[in-house]
Amino acid sequence: MRIFSGIQPTGGKTFGNLSGGFRQYVATQDQGEAFFCIVDLHSITIEYDPRELRESTLDLAAMLFATGLDPHRSTVFVQSHNPDHAQAAWLLGAVTSFGELRRMTQFKDKSEAHEFVSSGLFQYPVLMAADILLYQTDVVPVGEDQRQHVELTRDVAERFNARFGTLFRLPRGQYPSAGARIMDLTDPERKMSTSTSSEMGKILILDPPEAIRRKVMAAVTDSGREVRRSPEKPGISNLIEIMAVATGRSPEAIEGEYADGGYGRFKAAVAEAVIACLEPIAARYRQLRSDPAELERLLANGAAKARLVSAPTLQAMYQAMGFARLPD
Ligand code: AQP
């Protein structure tokens, strides 16, 4: 089985990224041949600082290994180190419609939030489809926010296969049973986001314990005192999911333990559970990040391994689409 997922080197990674991203990557790396990609080409689709991109790329590499990815078992690499991704995205643009891209909710949300809307932001899902399809992926472990993009990837693959002959495997998204969409602590109707959440709305994986306590204790909750999940209680439901991710326990078991204890006691327990979950990751991160040369070596190996798998698919795409090819 082939597994692929991408993650952007943008800003401080959040507890949401840990829940929908990193945690799932580690769980899937033993289930098949796994590829995890630092998608730097995606990260330039919104305003960014070129002076920070290289450092954020290494930050994210250190975080991927700190959360448990093993470079011997998983292929961890940087998207721009493998030029096949950008080429495949251009080719797939031929089988992706303007109307499909216009319906993407992430594009609608992000284009409303920015004054300058790049054409790259609009085409983002085509590049994501290329990332996934180049590796003949079966499973894409992601958070709920990526469901629409994974479904578009399947549609694009089906259209390519129907028009040019069957080439791509059809991938399916894999979403965690708890914590597939961690919500913003100050506004639990919106997802916890790297780019749009305020400082108090998101827990960063590298936040010091005092900051985590402050943010969780200040998290928005409703006026009741009962600790249980319900659509009328988005704030408490979110904290229950966060606790489930941090401890590995089921949301039901957590509700059973804290049902009548009141919000204050529950929030304090959530904060301590999150701190205990994140502290060892942060310690490993600091150690790995102190050796950038070693990170670059691991990423170079990853890119070489990735290209061995993506290159035949890209060549088959050119062939199927009828391009004149030069002799080898
Ligand atoms: N709140 C979340 N809950 C669960 N999973 C989440 N993911 C992101 N937010 C949540 C998952 O993390 C993986 C990597 O995401 P990404 O690189 O696309 O996202 P990002 O740059 O860190 O930005 P965010 O936070 O996703 O949102 P924006 O771009 O709005 O700032 C993905 O598997 C994603 O599902």
Mean pLDDT, residues 24-49 taken together: 95
Q: Which residues pair with 33 in a beta bridge?
A: 2
- 304 CA → ligand 1 middle, Å: 26
Is residue 62, in this structure, part of any structural domain at all? yes
Q: How many A from CA of 184 to the centre of ligand 1? A: 12
Q: Are residues 122 and 18 in the same domain?
A: yes
327 within some domain: no
Beta-carbon contacts of 206 under 8 Å, excluding residues fewer than 6 positions away, are 12, 13, 278, 282, 285
Q: Sorting pLDDT into bands at 50, 70 and 90, what band is 327?
A: confident
Looking at the fold, whether 57 and 136 belong to one and the same domain comes out as yes
What is the CB < 6 Å shell around ligand 1? 7-8, 10, 14, 16-17, 19-21, 142-143, 145-146, 180-182, 191-196
Euclidean distance between CA atoms 206 and 210, whole angstroms:
12
Give the pLDDT confidence score for residue 113 in this predicted structure: 81
CA 154, CA 207: separation in Å to the nearest integer? 37
The pLDDT confidence band at residue 42, using thresholds 50, 70 and 90, is: very high
| Domains held by the chain: number | 2
Does 266 share its domain with 148? Answer: no
Which residues face 134 on adjacent strands?
none
Q: Quick one: tokens of 167?
A: 């080439």
> Residue 187 falls within a domain, yes or no?
no
Same domain, residue pair 298 and 262: no
pLDDT of residue 259: 84
Confidence class of residue 224 from pLDDT cuts 50, 70 and 90? confident
Residues 21 and 103 in one domain: yes
In a domain, 233, yes or no: yes
Average pLDDT over residues 110-127: 93
The answer as to whether 228 is a domain residue is yes
Same domain, residue pair 270 and 298: no
Do 297 and 157 share a structural domain? yes
pTM for this structure?
0.95
How far apart are alpha carbons 39 and 17 in whole angstroms? 14
Query: Can you give the residue range of the structural domain that contains 38?
Result: 2-174+292-320
Q: Which of 194, 198, 274 to mutate to test the pocket of ligand 1 (most atoms within 8 A of CB)?
A: 194
* Per-residue model confidence (pLDDT) at position 325: 84
| Position in ligand 1 atom list of the atom nearest CA 7 | 17
Query: What mean pLDDT, rounded, does the chain reach?
Result: 96
Per-residue pLDDT tens for 148-199?
999 999 999 999 999 999 999 999 999 999 999 999 999 999 999 998 899 9
pLDDT at 164: 98
Same domain, 147 and 258: no
Judgement on whether residues 121 and 223 belong to the same structural domain of the protein: no
pLDDT tens digits for range 69-87: 999 999 999 999 999 999 9
Task: Tell whether 113 and 205 lie within a shared domain.
Answer: no
* In a shared domain, residues 282 and 296: no
Alpha-carbon distance of 37 to 279, in angstroms, equals 24
- pLDDT band at residue 115, thresholds of 50, 70 and 90? confident
Task: Starting at the earlier edge strand, list the strands of the sheet with 33-38.
Answer: 74-78, 33-38, 2-7, 139-141, 172-174
- Per the domain annotation, does 326 fall within a domain? no
Indicate whether 238 and 309 sit together in one domain.
no
CA atoms within 13 A on the CB side of 146: 27
